[in-house]
Structure 1
């Protein structure tokens, strides 16, 4: 039986793996998306993560497609009360203002004006009366954090949102937000969604400062890209030809290094000892890290999803964890060792 995990100090209980939905309406059509969500829930899953901007990067798409697909699925299945629905606000929605014009694109950011409007839009697309976890997708340098948190707090007071989170915040930005909430008596972020995986330098970027903040202040961590764009599934190997895909070229540029290939080889070895896919070992390691509640996984098919869901039944030994941690480790400064 799956043990659900608390999200930081909040009362939210999450399945150990969140279902990311960036693919919905992009690399997974609506029928496939429904099948993936059905399989996820059948396995005990309850945490579905999306964003209003999914999928604005496709031609002629103003955004909101993923939310709309999820909304139609919830209506068809009648299972709203079983789910923790998370979405995000910040990115630009609709057509952007033309370059070189003095007009400001008003359908983005973390201003009170846009947060309140964007939340109403997300509620409509999802077909729900509240959002369980509403997240700032990334920092808005043009808006004071007091304004952002005040608008978020108003949404909680109205009953439109239950909990607040953030994504892609640095340690000092997260501390600024937590301090402001405390000082002003505003609702506080209960979670952060950072990029976090075993890859270098991604692991160091999170563990150097953000991890300590999350642990000390009870902020739950729901990492995105926990498999490093597929690098940690073992499909990219040292001195082997690249698959013919855009992601392969991106990984070669961003993630191919001697240390990362050493990490992959160690993961493959541990996976063989347990008789499981390499991706499960990567995710199982993350689930043993301080403050991590539920890595967010994505899938383009039910088969891909099921391969990852097996992670919840994988128990890594102390030796496994030590081997993986050692090969993927990063240089600590003296202050890191002392604190």
Structure 2
């Protein structure tokens, strides 16, 4: 496994990050694995040299963090990069959500307790909070870094102007700065190429994209009936992101299939390889529910796509509405 710096920071992360939304409680979503079935996947990630684990407090309403924490309890803490996120509602309480100082302080303590650790390596804003002054959020995050509960700060899907405003305020006040951005980015959703990715390259921010396989669409998991896997049928986020553009997206998937056949490899390898090789991308976040899925992700790091491959993969794309920011 190769290790690279996350943005301009000194933090070294593996070239693949294991997304932990799949781990937790099946009662939260039918495609989520319980602890017994999650542990072998987490163990295999460690064997492969993956040191970067990305979760969030909202995943299975905290159960993902609990499963991850217990599974990694016997592994040397200094060898791990644990990332979590906050913003989404954790209960019906009006203050148990968002990015207020109150919620930030309570959320980090909850995540630390569930993960069974004294600090979080990368603490990320899951989304932008339109109801809380940005200065309040950034000041509170800075305090978490200064008291040692958090080592580094990151953010996830938002508009580029929002992210740049945050970076500017952090610099103006001498607050700890965001070192990473976690955007929605794959072959069938490339809108981040317009503003966010150039911004991150310019400002030295690491990029760790989510959904590199577009919830399995780019791995050929959407069947002829358009429904595909259990997750594809029950994941409301996947439906919101990709159902309206199915006809257009299927053209991209067909191009992925053609390139994969030329390289004699699965579609997932090609989709992963394309994302991992794009300018400024640090480490794609991979979702794994079966051990065999690691094979495609790891093999993708050594798959060399030609200029012809890339042109063929990108040709069917057409601009689409921003998706994933909310």
Normalising to structure 1: TM-score of the pair?
0.86
Contact 2:56–2:64, Cα closer than 8 Å, also in 1: yes
How far apart, CA to CA, are the structure 2 residues paired with 1:307 and 1:8?
A: 25
The C-alpha deviation readout for 1:272-320, integer Å capped at 9, x for no partner, is 2222210111111111112211111111121223333322222222222
Match of 1:60 in 2: none
Deviation at 1:5, TM superposition (A): 2.1
Matching residue within 74, 85, 89 for 1:88:
85
SS at match of 1:86: strand
How far apart, CA to CA, are the structure 2 residues paired with 1:160 and 1:243?
A: 41
Match of 1:118 in 2: 107
Deviation at 1:327, TM superposition (A): 3.0
Structure 2 residue 63 is matched with structure 1 residue 65: yes
How far apart, CA to CA, are the structure 1 residues paired with 2:273 and 2:41?
A: 21
How far apart, CA to CA, are the structure 1 residues paired with 2:68 and 2:118?
A: 14
Deviation at 1:248, TM superposition (A): 4.4
RMSD: 1.9
How far apart, CA to CA, are the structure 2 residues paired with 1:241 and 1:52?
A: 31
Deviation at 1:47, TM superposition (A): 0.8
Contact 2:210–2:285, Cα closer than 8 Å, also in 1: yes
Match of 1:231 in 2: 217
How far apart, CA to CA, are the structure 2 residues paired with 1:111 and 1:240?
A: 44
Q: In 2 relative to 1, CA 268–135 (structure 1 residues): closer, same or farther, beyond 3 Å?
A: same
Deviation at 1:229, TM superposition (A): 1.4
The aligned runs of 1:272-311 (5 Å cut-off) are 272-311=261-300
Please identify runs of 4+ aligned residues in structure 1 that moved more than 6 A: none
Match of 2:11 in 1: 12
How far apart, CA to CA, are the structure 2 residues paired with 1:241 and 1:283?
A: 22
Deviation at 1:183, TM superposition (A): 1.0
Contact 1:17–1:47, Cα closer than 8 Å, also in 2: yes
Matching residue within 185, 209, 212 for 2:198:
212
Larger radius of gyration: 1
Contact 2:184–2:210, Cα closer than 8 Å, also in 1: yes
Match of 1:336 in 2: none
Match of 2:232 in 1: 247
Q: In 2 relative to 1, CA 92–280 (structure 1 residues): closer, same or farther, beyond 3 Å?
A: same
In the alignment of these two chains, the number of paired residues is 309
Contact 2:68–2:115, Cα closer than 8 Å, also in 1: yes
Contact 2:222–2:232, Cα closer than 8 Å, also in 1: no
Contact 1:231–1:255, Cα closer than 8 Å, also in 2: no
Gaps of 5+ in 1: 56-62, 98-104, 332-339
How far apart, CA to CA, are the structure 2 residues paired with 1:18 and 1:299?
A: 11
Match of 1:186 in 2: 175
The C-alpha deviation readout for 1:129-156, integer Å capped at 9, x for no partner, is 1100000110111111111111111111
The aligned runs of 1:148-159 (5 Å cut-off) are 148-159=137-148
The C-alpha deviation readout for 1:119-174, integer Å capped at 9, x for no partner, is 11111110111100000110111111111111111111111111100111111110
How far apart, CA to CA, are the structure 2 residues paired with 1:253 and 1:240?
A: 12
Normalising to structure 2: TM-score of the pair?
0.89
How far apart, CA to CA, are the structure 2 residues paired with 1:166 and 1:253?
A: 26
Deviation at 1:326, TM superposition (A): 2.6
How far apart, CA to CA, are the structure 2 residues paired with 1:150 and 1:124?
A: 23
Structure 2 residue 58 is matched with structure 1 residue 45: no
How far apart, CA to CA, are the structure 1 residues paired with 2:170 and 2:89?
A: 26
Gaps of 5+ in 2: 27-31, 321-326
The aligned runs of 1:321-336 (5 Å cut-off) are 321-328=310-317, 330=319
